Structure 1
Amino acid sequence: MRFLAIMKKDILILLRNTALMLFLIYIFTLDIYLAGIGIKIKPQHVSVGYVDYSNSLIVNKILTHLHKPEFQTPKRFLNEEALKKAIENKKIMVGLVFDGDFAKNYYKTGKSQVNVLIDSTAAAQAQVTVIYLNEILARFVNLHFPLSIQTHRLFNQNSNSTWFMSLAELMSDVVLLVLLLVATVFVKEKEEGTWDIMLLMPVSSILTIFAKMFSQVVVILVGVWVSVGLILFGVFDMPINGNLWHFFLLNLLFAFSLGGIGLVIAAISNTVTEVGQYSFMLMMPLIFLSGAWTPISSMAPWLQKLSIISPVRYYIEASESIFFRGASFYDLIPYFVALLIIGMVLFYIGYKKIGRLF
C-alpha cells in the first residue's frame, strides 16, 4: 500500500505540472507526427535544371521521368555557366548537361554520357538523389545482361520512410523521457525542499526509489500506448507484424534498464535544468550506438563492441523486429535477457549512487 501511495503522489504531481504535461503530449503526438511526415529518406521536390546541347527528343523523354513528388519540373538553361551559377545561388539543387553528341551516341552505341552537377551541401540527400538519377538514366541504356536481376524488398516492402521515421522518433523519445522523468522525480524533491520529509517516511529507501521510478515508467508506457494507437496506427496506418504486447513488455524492461542511468543523473543533479542538460548529453551517444541511424555492422569495430553494453541497442533492434520482421516471443528472448542483465547492473549502480542521499 505504501508503494502505491508513493506512486500515486508522484503521478498526481506530474499531472498538475502543466508545462511538463504539455511537453509529454507534444512528445508523444505532434513530435512523432512531424518526424513521420517531415523527415524523408528519398528525394522530395528536388529542383532540377538542365542544358541540352543536342536538342534531341531522347533528352525530352528522359526529362519526363523526372516528375513529382521526387523532382520538380526541370528548368532549361542556355549554357553550363548559367546552370552552375543557379546551383551556386541555390536556385536549383541538380544540374544535368547533355552534350551535342548525346543523341548520336545513344542511337549508335546505346551508351551516352550525362554530366551531373549537384549541390552536396546536404550530403545525404545528394547521395540518394544521385542514386535515383542513375536508376532513371539506366532505363535508357541498351545493355543486354546474360541474367535478370529481381529485387525483393523484405520487411518494409514499400520502403515507407514514414513508418520507419515515426517509429525511430518514438524510440528516441522514450530514451530521452526515461532519463529525464526518472531523474526529475527525485530532483524535484531537492528543489522544493521536501527531500528531508521524504527521508522521514516509514518506508525503506529501496522501496521509495523503486516506487518513484515505477511511477514515471507507468507514465511513459501510457504515452507509448497513446502514440502507437493514435499516431502510428491511427494516422500513418502502420502495420505490425509481431505482437503488440511484446512491444509493451519490451518498453517496460527497457525503461527499468535505462532508469538506472536516470538515478545516477538524479544523484549528481541539484536542479531540473541540470537534469535536462545531463539527459540530452547522454541521449545522443546512446542513440548513435544503438544502430537506429547507422547499422551496427557499418560502425568501426571498437564502436560495435562498445554498443554491446548499451541497452538502447537491444531496444531498437527488438522494436524493429516486432514491427517489421514479425519476431516471435522466442526470437525476442535474447533481447529481453540482455535488457534484464544490463538493467540489473545499471539499477545497482544507480541505487548505490542515489542511496547515499538517503
Structure 2
Amino acid sequence: MKHLLNIFRLGVKELRSLWHDKVMMIMIAYAFSFAIYIGATSASTELHNAPIGFVDEDRSALSQRLIDAFYPPRFAEPNLLPLSQIDAKLDAGLYTFVIVIPNDFEKKLRFGKKPEIQVNIDATRMTQAGIGAGYIQQIINQEISRYFGGSKNKHPLPIGIVTRMKYNPNLTSSWFGGVMEIISMISLLSIVLTGAALIREREHGTLEHLMVMPLNAAEIILAKVWSMGLVVLVSAAFSLMFVVEGVLQVPIAGSELLFLFGAMLVLLATTSMGIFMGTIARTMPQLGLIFILTILPLQILSGGITPFESMPHLLQNIMLFTPTSHFVSMAQAILYRGAGFDVVWRDMLAIVAIGFSFFFMALLMFRRSLATAS
C-alpha cells in the first residue's frame, strides 16, 4: 500500500505540472480536436469537382451525351476547348482531364469500327488522376452502351457481378481517416508527454529531489506512466465520442469500451518508450530529434497509412515487435468491423508482452541514469 500511495501521489504531481504547462495543454487539446478533424477531412481520396474539358470534333448526339454525363460533384462543369489549347490549359493547371472525341466517332461505332477517345491527364495531381481515369472509362462505356440500347451485347454473360462495399459502403475517406488519426495521436502524445515529463524533471532540478526521497525508480516511472496515460486515454475517449462520432458522423461498429481498454494496454508500451527516450536525451531538442526518428517508422509502417500486407516481408516481421502494428489491427477490427474480444485477444496479448518489454527496458535505463547521476 505504501508503494501504491507513492505512485498515486507522484502521478497527481505530474498531472498538476501538466496543468500548469499551458503550451502542452493547448497541444493536447488541439491534437484531439482540430487535428483529428483536419486529418480526417483534408486528405480526401474521393474525386470531387475535378476540372475537366472536352474537345468535341465529332459534334454528334453521342458526343454531346458523353459530355453531359460528366457533372458535379465528382467533376466540375465540363468546358469545350479547341484542340490547339490542350497543352496550354494543362500546363497552366486549369484542367486535370481533357477528353478528345475524334471526328466521325459515332459513325464509326455504328459501322462496327473501334474509334479511340483520347484522355489527357495531369498526373501531377496523382490521387485525382488515378481515381478519375477509372471513372472516365466507366462513364464513357456506360453511356455508349445505353446510347446504342445494349445492341453491342447480343450474347450477355451467363453470370452477373454484384459488388457490395462492407463497413464503408460509400467509400468515405473521413470514416477511415478520423479513426486512424485518433490511433496516431494516442501513440504520438503518450510518447511526447512522458518523455517531456522526465526532461522537465531534469531541467527544473526536481529529479534530484526525487532521488533523495524514499522512492525507487519503479515508483517514479509508474507514476508518469499512469498519469500521462490517463490524460491521453481521456482525451482519446472525448475525441472518439464528440469529434469522430459527433462532428465527422463516423459510425462506430464495435465496442468503444473494448477499444479504450486496448488503448490502455498500448499506453503501457508507448509511455515506456517515452521514458526510455527521456532517459537517453538530456534536453528537449534532443528528445525531439529522437522522437522524430522513432515515430515516423512507427506510424508509416503500422498499417494505418498503407496496408500491412503490401509491405516487404522483412518489414512485416520487424513491425510485429512494435505495439503500433498490433494496435492498428485491433482498432480497425473493433471500430470498423465490430469485432469482439474473441477476435482481438491475440493482438491484445502481443501488446501486453511488448508493453512489459519496453517498460523493463525503460526501468533498467532509468535506474542506470539515476546511479550515474548520484
TM-score, structure 1 as length reference: 0.95
Partner of 2:48: 44
**C-alpha distance in 1 between matches for 2:64 and 2:322:** 53
Q: Is the 8 A contact 1:242 1:323 kept in 2?
A: yes
- Alpha-carbon shift at residue 140 of structure 1 (Å): 2.6
- Specify every segment of 5 or more residues in structure 1 that has no aligned partner in the other structure, as ranges: none
Q: What secondary structure, in the 3-state scheme, does the structure 2 residue paired with 1:116 have?
A: strand
Q: What secondary structure, in the 3-state scheme, does the structure 2 residue paired with 1:291 have?
A: coil
Match among 207, 228, 236 for residue 248 of structure 2: 236
Q: Pairwise mapping of residues 295-314 of structure 1 onto structure 2 (< 5 A)?
A: 295-314=307-326
Partner of 1:93: 96
Q: Is the 8 A contact 2:100 2:118 kept in 1?
A: yes
2:170 matched to 1:167? no
**C-alpha distance in 2 between matches for 1:343 and 1:109:** 67
Cα deviation digits, residues 121-165 of structure 1 (max 9, x gap): 132332112122222222134353402211011121221211111
Q: Pairwise mapping of residues 1-358 of structure 1 onto structure 2 (< 5 A)?
A: 1-79=5-83, 81-109=84-112, 112-142=115-145, 144=153, 145-146=156-157, 147-358=159-370
**C-alpha distance in 2 between matches for 1:355 and 1:45:** 58
- Alpha-carbon shift at residue 56 of structure 1 (Å): 1.7
Q: What secondary structure, in the 3-state scheme, does the structure 1 residue paired with 2:223 have?
A: helix
2:7 partner letter: F
Larger Rg: 2
**Residues 122/198 of structure 1: CA separation in 2 closer, same or farther (3 Å cut):** farther
**Residues 202/305 of structure 1: CA separation in 2 closer, same or farther (3 Å cut):** same
**C-alpha distance in 1 between matches for 2:182 and 2:114:** 47
Regions of 4+ moved over 6 Å: none
**C-alpha distance in 2 between matches for 1:299 and 1:259:** 27
**C-alpha distance in 2 between matches for 1:70 and 1:354:** 55
Partner of 2:149: none
Cα deviation digits, residues 66-114 of structure 1 (max 9, x gap): 22222111121111x3112111111111111111132223334385422
Q: Is the 8 A contact 1:263 1:353 kept in 2?
A: no
Q: Is the 8 A contact 2:6 2:215 kept in 1?
A: yes
TM-score, structure 2 as length reference: 0.91
Q: Is the 8 A contact 1:48 1:92 kept in 2?
A: yes
Identity between Structure 1 and Structure 2 (%): 24
Of 122-131 and 241-250, the range deviating more from structure 2: 122-131
1:259 partner letter: T
- Specify every segment of 5 or more residues in structure 2 that has no aligned partner in the other structure, as ranges: 146-151
**C-alpha distance in 2 between matches for 1:297 and 1:78:** 46
Q: Is the 8 A contact 1:289 1:310 kept in 2?
A: no
Q: Is the 8 A contact 2:217 2:366 kept in 1?
A: no
